[in-house]
Amino acid sequence: MKEKIKNLSTYYLPFGIGEAEVPKLLIINKFQTIAFFANCCYNYVMIFRKLVALFLLPLWSYFASPAIRFSPVENGPLLRSLPPRYAHLQMEARQVTGDFAEEGRTDRIYVLKEGDTPVFILKTLDMKKEDEKRDYYQEKRAFEVVQSKHFHRFRTPRLAYIGVKENTGMLIETPAAGKSLVWWLQDRTPEGREALKDAVEEAAIALAELHTSHKFSTPAPYYQKLYPASSLPGPYGLIHGDVHPGNIFFDGKSITFIDLSSLYPSLNGAPVALDVAHFTLMLRAFAGYYGVPKKEVELLVTQFLTTYRKHGYALSDKLIESYMKLIAHEYASYLAEGIGSQDHQILYVKRFMTSSGLANS
């Protein structure tokens, strides 16, 4: 070591550095070398993260996360059973994967395309099954009621055809404009996050308009049977009944509600707080599933409730929370049905309750 210092002092002498200063210089060089390699490692990690964000995460999301995709199908007997004006269209079948897929149901969703342009959505239900037969008639009646009104802050798909052939109920609707809130929850770009805020605000105004369009003094017997242990405090009005991010579309300007069969029971009056609580619950659950930061989620919830109270009813936090607890356990158990073993179902319920903010309820 002394020999090394002596040789280095000879090298540094022209620069005014004596032999006594060389050990300090060696220590400084060592730290500079460590810092250089640490900086290189950090840069490599950042590059890797960008590659993961660009290529690996979308791939993982496609195969591993719940998704709704469409795949081409042959124009078989189903399309031929429709009126002739639909015969020239191409069909693509919806495939729901992951935790959001419902087992035990045979209803199928198809996109009817003209070239590459979606022009209609075809929903089919098995009329031999009582629950699907009920959904068919409820959705038909709900369409009739909603389309007879003139709502200004939201739209619904237009029902182009409805009919039954060979025990298959068929509803053909126009596609919803824009993208669902599920899509906006996954768009983490600055533009996407702003669009999500706008969508949540418009959803609050749209629900307020729906809820205040009809007024009732009591809830329909359907809800009293569904929640016999609750007094179901009002106010009462028309509600969507299944308002969650997957059933709300936003095109940058306006809201479109889909899946109207759940609106039917409220034609005789429903607690509007059910809708508000349901959307709040589902917004937290879906956002938690897709990794939206909790702070951002709570800001969205606050924005939704503040806007709704301004345009609709001034529902208290206590009332909304009571309805959230009322529906959370039922909904979590419903989602868990048919998902593997009992242990798997319990884990799924716990995950849902945690992501929706009711883990201790």
- Amino acid letter for position 179: K
Question: What angle do the packed helices 342-355 and 317-336 form, to 10 degrees?
Answer: 150
Q: List, for residues 247-279, the tens digit of each pLDDT value.
A: 999 999 899 999 888 899 999 999 999 999 999
Mean pLDDT, residues 284-305: 92
Please tell me the least confidently modeled range out of 77-81, 221-225, 268-272, 294-298: 77-81
Q: Which residue has the tokens 């795949």?
A: 71
Q: Which residue has the higher pLDDT, 108 or 138?
A: 138
283 in Cβ contact with 248 (< 8 Å): no
Across 261-292, b (16+ Cβ under 10 Å) vs e yields bbbbbbbbbbbbbbbbbbbbbbbbbbbbbbeb
Of the spans 13-22, 106-115, 155-164, which averages the highest pLDDT?
Answer: 155-164
CA neighbours closer than 13 Å in the CB half-sphere of residue 8: 15
The rounded distance, in Å, linking the Cα atoms of 201 and 231 is 30
How much is the pLDDT for 213? 92
Q: Which residue has the higher pLDDT, 201 or 349?
A: 201
pLDDT over 70 percentage in the chain: 64
Q: List strand residue ranges (DSSP E) for 283-335, in order.
A: none
Check whether 244 has a pLDDT greater than 60.
yes
Confidence of residue 57 (pLDDT cuts 50, 70, 90): very low
Please tell me the least confidently modeled range out of 26-40, 124-138, 171-185: 26-40
155 in Cβ contact with 177 (< 8 Å): yes
Q: Which phi and psi (to 5°) does residue 121 adopt?
A: -115, 130
Q: Which residue has the higher pLDDT, 41 or 361?
A: 41
Mean pLDDT, residues 303-317: 96
Q: Which CATH architecture has domain 179-355?
A: Alpha-Beta Complex (3.90)
Query: What is the Cα Rg of the chain in Å?
Result: 29
Burial (0-12, 13-18, 19+ Cβ within 10 Å), 344: exposed
Q: Which of 325, 332, 310, 312 is nearest to 274 (CA)?
A: 325
The rounded distance, in Å, linking the Cα atoms of 211 and 197 is 21
Cα angle 301, 303, 305 (rounded to 5 degrees) comes to 70
Mean pLDDT over the full length of the chain: 76
Q: Which residue has the higher pLDDT, 205 or 285?
A: 205
In whole angstroms, how far apart are CA 283 and each of 6, 27, 183, 244?
71, 56, 13, 7
Check whether 106 has a pLDDT greater than 50.
no
Instruction: Beginning with the edge strand found earlier in the chain, give each strand of the sheet holding 248-250 in spatial order.
Output: 154-155, 255-257, 248-250, 179-180
How much is the pLDDT for 71? 46
How would you classify residue 47: left for phi > 0, otherwise alpha for psi between -120 and 50, otherwise beta? alpha
Burial (0-12, 13-18, 19+ Cβ within 10 Å), 325: middle
Q: List, for residues 162-193, the tens digit of each pLDDT value.
A: 888 888 888 889 888 899 999 999 988 999 99
How much is the pLDDT for 316? 95
Q: Which of 211, 291, 289 is nearest to 243 (CA)?
A: 211
Q: Domain 67-173: which topology?
A: Phosphorylase Kinase; domain 1 (3.30.200)
The rounded distance, in Å, linking the Cα atoms of 251 and 28 is 59
Q: Which of 211, 218, 128, 197 is nearest to 166 (CA)?
A: 128
**Two tokens, residue 137:** 């008639």
Q: Which of 163, 178, 154, 182 is nearest to 263 (CA)?
A: 154
- Residue spans per domain, the chain: 67-173, 179-355
How much is the pLDDT for 226? 84
**What does pTM read for this prediction?**
0.70
How would you classify residue 176: left for phi > 0, otherwise alpha for psi between -120 and 50, otherwise beta? beta
**Two tokens, residue 123:** 């929903």
Check whether 104 has a pLDDT greater than 60.
no
Mean pLDDT, residues 5-14: 48
